């Protein structure tokens, strides 16, 4: 075996090892970022069991899960951004099969079930993350944007006509208001029945876009 072949083989082996290590660390970095968000989310949920969320500081939140404030700000703008992320990621997941087996009624039912699965936490958010940092309006705006993007992609639209966007926002604000009442025990209704009511009372211009998908 020639010396040049051995050297070339060693260079290829070193390159392969280096490349594999680079991929490994990139993957681990992505996992770490996701895990960091989840750690912060769990920390917030733990603290929310004993404190109003508007009283929880970033220092408390990070110390509770062994992280630092700079690490927190690498992932979220503020604690209200974290609160919205906790709910929004689940809302995004609920839309995965919308139009491919799941109806809008299924999607809205899932949105309500998410709250029901951790009701005390979400009651804390709805009561205490208000005003400029409103949890309800931030997450509702996100859901509006997700549905708007879904309609555009599904029906080949570059933009939503102003009337359709108005109807969508009108509809979703109503959903938000009534889910808020339900969560704060002002209205008794199952998630499925609530979703049916919302679909039945949807503005007519939205029905061909969201119900006949």
Spell out the domain ranges in the chain: 3-73, 79-210
Count of residues for the chain? 213
Please compute the mean of the pLDDT values over residues 137-163 and round it to a whole number.
96
Sequence-separated (6 or more) residues with CB below 8 Å from residue 80: 129, 133, 135, 138
Q: Is the pLDDT of residue 5 over 50?
A: no
> Is the model's pLDDT at 206 over the cut of 50?
yes
Could you read off the pLDDT of 19-66 as tens digits, one per residue?
555 545 544 454 455 589 999 999 999 999 999 999 999 999 999 999
* Inter-residue contact 82 to 44 (CB < 8 Å): yes
What is the C-alpha to C-alpha distance for residues 103 and 95, in angstroms, rounded to an integer?
Answer: 10
In eight-state DSSP terms, residue 201 is: T
Q: What is the mean pLDDT of residues 177-182?
A: 92
pLDDT at 32: 53
- For 76, residues 6+ apart whose C-beta sits below 8 A from its C-beta are 37, 40, 82, 85
pLDDT higher for 85 or 33? 85
CA distances from 163 to 67, 159, 167, 208 (A): 47, 11, 6, 14
**Cα dihedral across residues 172, 187, 136, 193: positive or negative:** negative
The residues pairing with 102 across neighbouring beta strands, listed in sequence order, are 98
Spatial separation of the C-alpha atoms in residues 129 and 119, rounded to whole Å: 15
**What is the per-residue pLDDT for 187?**
78
- Tell how far CA 141 is from the center of its chain: 12
Residue 92 predicted with pLDDT over 80: yes
- The pLDDT of 81-86, averaged and rounded, is 96
User: pLDDT value at position 35?
Assistant: 85
Q: Which residues, in sequence order, are CB contacts of 158 under 8 Å at separation 6+?
A: 152
Helices (H), the chain: 3-48, 58-63, 69-73, 79-94, 104-117, 119-128, 135-155, 162-183, 191-200, 207-210
Question: Who's near 119: CB < 8 A, 6+ residues apart?
Answer: 183
Model-level pTM? 0.80
Share of the chain above pLDDT 70, in %: 83
The pLDDT value given to residue 83: 96
Apex 72 CA angle, 88 and 63, nearest 5: 115
Q: How far, CA to CA in Å, does 174 sit from each of 95, 116, 144, 149, 169?
A: 19, 19, 12, 20, 9
- What average pLDDT does the chain have? 87
pLDDT for position 22: 54
Per-residue DSSP letter, 77: S
**What pLDDT does 26 receive?**
46
Q: What is the pLDDT of residue 31?
A: 44
Instruction: Please compute the mean of the pLDDT values over residues 160-181 and round it to a whole number.
Output: 96
């Amino acid at each position: 075996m020639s010396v040049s072949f051995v050297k070339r083989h060693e260079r290829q082996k070193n390159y392969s090892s280096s490349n594999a290590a680079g991929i490994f660390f990139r993957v681990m970095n992505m996992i770490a970022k996701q895990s960091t968000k989840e750690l912060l989310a769990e920390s917030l949920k733990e603290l929310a069991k004993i404190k109003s969320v508007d009283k929880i500081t970033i220092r408390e939140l990070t110390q509770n899960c062994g992280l630092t404030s700079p690490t927190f700000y690498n992932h979220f703008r503020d604690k209200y951004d974290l609160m919205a992320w906790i709910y929004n990621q689940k809302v995004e997941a609920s839309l995965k099969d919308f139009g491919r087996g799941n109806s809008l009624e299924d999607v809205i039912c899932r949105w309500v079930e998410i709250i029901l699965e951790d009701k005390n936490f979400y009651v804390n958010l709805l009561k205490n993350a208000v005003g400029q940092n409103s949890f309800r309006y931030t997450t509702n705006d996100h859901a509006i944007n997700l549905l708007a993007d879904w309609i555009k992609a599904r029906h080949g639209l570059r933009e939503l006509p102003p009337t359709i966007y108005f109807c969508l926002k009108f509809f979703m604000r109503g959903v938000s208001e009534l889910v808020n009442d339900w969560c704060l025990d002002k209205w008794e209704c199952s998630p499925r029945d609530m979703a049916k009511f919302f679909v039945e009372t949807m503005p007519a211009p939205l029905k061909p876009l969201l119900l006949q998908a």
